[in-house]
Amino acid sequence: MVGARRSFIRETTIVASAPPHVPRPLAARRAGALRGRLRPPGDKSISHRSLILGLLAIGETSITGLLEGDDVLRTAEACRMLGARVDRLGPGQWRVLGAGLGTLVEPRGTLDFGNAGTGTRLMMGVVGGHGITATFDGDASLRKRPMRRILDPLALMGARVLSEAEGGRLPVTLRGSSEPAPIEYRTPVPSAQLKSAILLAGLNSPGRTTVIETEASRDHTEKMLAWFGASITSEPDGAHGRKIVLAGRPDLRPRPVVVPADPSSAAFPLVAALLTPGSDVVIEGLMMNPLRVGLLESLLEMGADIEILDRRMEGGEDVADLRARHCQLKGVDVPAARAPAMIDEYPILAVAASFAKGETRMRGLSELRVKESDRLMAVSDGLNAAGVENFIEGDDLVVRGTGVVPGGGMVATHLDHRIAMSFLVMGLASQKPVSIDDSTMIATSFPTFRPAMEALGAQFG
């Protein structure tokens, strides 16, 4: 059923064109053991989705523990521009008064997603399934990222690209379809963003939308759609894949969302504790969703001293506290099939591998080339700058660890928050400090990174 338009007062702030980017270099140095407890910020994937589902449900969705990073704030602004009222009630506490599926308004300005690929691609799905036109844009990093993978299936559903930059890049102007065709789509790459865009467009379709993935990607969209009342099924397909079927035009009901801690952000203090002599750190409330725990699995194979404590359910997700202590890691072979479950964690795994004894081979990393930066190159260049032997072979990254990292270099971060945080972690345990050319992008996903790490004993400056 399509919801009736509600008459909430709309905030129509139009994002002004961005001021020139001013990089802020930062260095990390060895300063002794890390100790204490840390709760990482809310999960970025779930934060984006909670706002978007709040937009599409009619009435009040309350969100606790929302990540207040730049990426998610851009999605909040886009939701406002599409007709929702979005209010911050307190730290991490947000309320979305949804406009309802089928009733979105055409935004008056460009939807500027800054650095956020997830916000852009999911919202392209939302717009693609509504009879409105919207222009999507972002920063220099986002403008380099491929959008064809999203625009192609949306075109099959009836959406039209009115303009795009060369090669299907931002800025893109998309005209959605008010009656998106139900499709069955096999995703050519394992991407939760792609899967989610199709499902979000399919929400407003009169029929069933089917997405088949050969390698299962994170399933937060499916879980949250079910939580908001959609009829959606997910079953195994092939050795590692899933088939997801969504019935269109559900009556989405607002539900409270509790956002668990982000395992992709937890990765930084977790690895920092393993690498820094004398460390003993507890990371609280880490989401243990099987499609997000690839890093943990890999670190345990490397011999990491990690204890999993107090497994429990929080906000519909399995969570746990992790106690990590310094230890000597060993090199491992990380299979390509694990990539979707740790796709954002390869930069920090490469840092861990640099301190390990022996060779670590990380297989099947082609998707790393189209993240916030070409992460395969950025990691390899960063390791070279810090004196770590490594090479790229096809889509594999091989790191030859000796147990000791010289450090001392300047790492180019290419507007990539995870490159920035990974190499700062390296500097906490390398012989000489490691510098990064720009720390500003850390605010996109882990705005409290520096004070949270300093509270454990890290030294930056």
The site for ligand S3P (CB under 6 A) is made up of 45, 118, 191-193, 196, 217-218, 343-344, 367
Distance in angstroms (rounded) separating the CA atoms of residues 225 and 199: 9
**Helix intervals (H) in 242-343:** 263-275, 294-301
Distance in angstroms (rounded) separating the CA atoms of residues 101 and 53: 9
Which among 294, 328, 287 is positioned nearest to 308, based on CA atoms? 287
Distance in angstroms (rounded) separating the CA atoms of residues 299 and 381: 23
Q: Which is nearer to ligand S3P, 192 or 411 (CB)?
A: 192
Please tell me whether the peptide bond between 171 and the residue prior to it is cis, using omega within 30 degrees of 0.
yes
CB atoms within 10 A of CB 258: 17
CB atoms within 10 A of CB 11: 12
Residue whose C-beta lies closest to ligand S3P: 45
Distance in angstroms (rounded) separating the CA atoms of residues 352 and 214: 29
Distance in angstroms (rounded) separating the CA atoms of residues 290 and 287: 9
How near is the Cβ of 219 to ligand S3P at its closest, in Å?
10
Distance in angstroms (rounded) separating the CA atoms of residues 200 and 49: 10
Q: Which residues contact 112 (CB under 8 A, 6 or more apart)?
A: 15, 18, 74, 77, 137, 138
Q: Which is nearer to ligand S3P, 220 or 450 (CB)?
A: 220
Residue type at 173?
T
Q: Which two tokens stand for residue 308?
A: 């999993």
Catalytic residue check, 219: no
The distance from CA 459 to its chain's CA centroid, rounded to whole angstroms, is 26
Q: Which is nearer to ligand S3P, 52 or 329 (CB)?
A: 52
Residues with catalytic annotation?
344
